Amino acid sequence: MENILKKLLKVPWITLAVTIITSALFFMVMKENSRIETDLDKYMPQDHPAFVYSDMAEEWFGINDGIIVAIENSNGIFNTATLDTLKQLTRRLQKMPQIEKEDVTSLYTADNILGTEDGMDVKSFYKRVPKTEEKLNELKENVENNEMVFGRLVSTDETVTVIIAEIKDDVFSQEFYEEILELAASFQTDDIKIHVAGRPIVEGTMALLGPADMKKMVPIVLLVITLVLFIMLRSVKSTLLTMAVVFFSVLWAFGLMAAVNIPIYAVSTMIPVMLIAIGVADGIHLYSHLQLFLRKNPDASKKEASIDMLQNMWKPVVMTSITTSVGFISLLTSQVYPIKYFGIFTAFGVLAAMLFSLTLIPAGIMIFGLPKVKKAKTKQINDKSGFADKFASWVVKRKSISIIATAVIIVLSITGMQKIWINSSFLDKFEKDSDIVLTDKFINEHFGGTTTLNLILDAGEENKDVFKEPEVLKMVDKMQKTVVHDLEVVGNSFSLTDYVNRMNKVMNANNEDFNTIPGSKDMIAQYLLLYEMSGDPENLNKVVDYDYSKLNVNFQLKSDNSKAINSALAVINSFEDDFEENGITINYAGSGYKGLVFTDLILEGQIMSLILSLVIVIVLLSFMFKNIRIGFIGAVPIIITALISFGVMGFLNIPLNTTTALLSSIAIGIGIDYAVHFIEQYKINAINTGNKQLTAQKTMAHSGRAISFNAIVVIAGFLVLLFSVFPPNRELGALVSLNMFTSFVGTLTIMLVLLNVSNIYFKKKKK
């Protein structure tokens, strides 16, 4: 490796040309093939049992997420203007190519089940917009008397009515969203306000905002890191070459992603920020060593300086890049595609940055010359004075302070970790005062909720007509009412029982006492037959299958976070034994449940990647330094960092989600760099000096300095995420910056103490 790098020094222009040409090719591929994935179902493992069953259930019952268009009139909706707006908007939505006509539900399209002298009739609430006071009052009374509509399609305060337009997973696009917004805006008046919400809007907006956020963040990161680098390196040439390294590494990462046809997911937009902040580390260590060499050897030629830099630094640069890549590659244990791909391509980018650091920077030095460095004074040359020496001496002499402080921090962190929770919410990724969150809140306040949870009760194909049994339907009805009554977060539920209750009531002169499940199976079957003859039988297909052996119960929740969904599952599952006695199993489907499983998979992958990356890092360090104790000592700062990070998340109520789940891998991947550089320099100084105190001082003056520079640059880079439009990204930026600081401090304190106490490299060899 060293000989190859030295040979490349002889052809610097070729090295530069090859780098530019290959990067240009990657850029062309990226420009041609890059695509953004807006369908969040594609983020999930399609072969996972929960998703496989959910997909089947979605086919059985036509379960799709709906765009909710709310029409608000503070004076009430039962007036000609508002009802006409509802009708026109419903019809316009039905004509959109992205929406199937029968998948649009509103008061204009809903069925009103009524009892008649001859039996039962199913009518629409209105076809022509009522204009007289009498007709308006009649419609108002019909809505208020129909519990299947009142509170579901019309708010109980009668100031808001909704249109629900269900769409397939793959039809949402930015253009479609803008078309919906333009359509809604065209119907707004001084009295009538239109609000647009729903899970497709939330998911699609999140997926589309990611790239826009990246376009904003990358220039800021580049500017901040360039300024900080220039302040640290005090050289325009050194700064530009280091930034060229990260620029080319980002091109290669996204170019490869496009070449193998992997789409850009929301989390992929974090890769440039990661690589820019991480990729400068190698350049900082190379230039830091180069500066120290030139201060001692001011007359050295650029070739001599480059050779010395490569001889002394290629090994730690390679080792740190490998260990950093391992941290990210460990994300392959995740079953969540975006996180898996994030790990692969970030690791590739890190290795590309290593390659460019060891080739492009020396080539740049040979072409453009050495950076200017002031000649050091004698005391500085001998490394026997200065802050680094004093700090190293203080740490070594007061070992107990570092040990006690570390123990206290570990105890506090473990305490905080007990409070960590997982959040599957997509809405929580937006600002609390953003339009999308405020609209969702508005609709939740007036209706059952914008988040749906589909409970699938499955009796098996051999148990036909089981959901015509009165005892079974009464049990379902009881379960629905219990969930809604016990949980404030559950606003409403809907299933076959609502149809049967309504039909039983209207067939008994609208007597509220009969708003229950009838006690006869034959009566239930007769009601259902009457409905199929009078109304639209397709409506029943959304709640029960043809054989009446599978039932779809829809719950509306006012929140999409994990706590809300899990609370509903807990109450539903309390009925599991009762259903099993009747041969019925409980399953779940729909986007709300899949989001919950998705988040659980993230936690599972987080734990696996954390354990795997720690084990691999310990093994690699043991192998690199040929001592298993070094492996464990080197891992101490990153273990403490991970504990602190999760402890802080617990104390500050920051949940684990698709973004913060990356935390441990980032912490290990980047934080281990400090340990590798420090241990490598400690080993060299220990062998050369044979003195523990002097070794600590010289290591602190050399690697401690470079690590300080590295930590400052990386922290500055990640703090830029505080400007992200996504709160989880801001949380990640703050937490990673904290991680870098704690890894940096841990390396220079507790790890130095452990190296000093262990006497590694100082034991006398036996003759």
**Whats the size of the chain, residue-wise?**
767
Distance CA 345, CA 328 (A): 9
Question: In terms of Cα–Cα distance, which of 123, 16, 58 is closest to 452?
Answer: 58
Six-digit token pair at 726?
């996504």
Q: What is the pLDDT of residue 765?
A: 44
User: Please, are residues 165 and 104 in contact by the beta-carbon 8 Å criterion?
Assistant: yes
- The torsion angles phi and psi of 747, rounded to 5 degrees, stand at -65, -40
Q: What is the pLDDT of residue 3?
A: 75
CA torsion 17→20→26→30, rounded to 10°? -150
Distance CA 497, CA 536 (A): 17
CA 378-383-384 angle, to 5 degrees, is 90
DSSP count for the chain of H helices, then E strands = 27, 10
User: Please, are residues 461 and 583 in contact by the beta-carbon 8 Å criterion?
Assistant: no
User: Please, are residues 327 and 227 in contact by the beta-carbon 8 Å criterion?
Assistant: no
Q: What is the pLDDT of residue 666?
A: 74
Q: What is the pLDDT of residue 57?
A: 92
User: Please, are residues 345 and 256 in contact by the beta-carbon 8 Å criterion?
Assistant: yes
Q: Which residues of 270-283 are buried (b: 16+ CB within 10 A; e: fewer)?
A: bbbbbbbbbbbbbb
Low-confidence ranges of the chain (pLDDT < 70): 1-2, 38-41, 207-208, 374-385, 658, 661, 763-767
pTM over 0.75: yes
Q: What is the pLDDT of residue 94?
A: 94
User: Please, are residues 600 and 657 in contact by the beta-carbon 8 Å criterion?
Assistant: no
Inter-CA distances, 19 with 186, 244, 352, 728, 766, Å: 53, 10, 11, 35, 50
Six-digit token pair at 510?
């609208």
Six-digit token pair at 299?
């007359």
User: 369-372 long-range contacts, Cβ below 8 Å, gap at least 24?
Assistant: 369/237, 369/302, 370/290, 370/294, 370/302, 370/305, 371/233, 371/234, 371/235, 371/237, 371/238, 371/287, 371/290, 371/291, 371/294, 372/235
User: Please, are residues 708 and 638 in contact by the beta-carbon 8 Å criterion?
Assistant: no
User: Please, are residues 665 and 613 in contact by the beta-carbon 8 Å criterion?
Assistant: yes
Inter-CA distances, 163 with 144, 424, 600, 648, Å: 18, 26, 32, 43
Q: What is the pLDDT of residue 225?
A: 87
Inter-CA distances, 8 with 3, 19, 322, 369, 626, Å: 9, 13, 22, 16, 30
CA torsion 311→314→316→320, rounded to 10°? 180
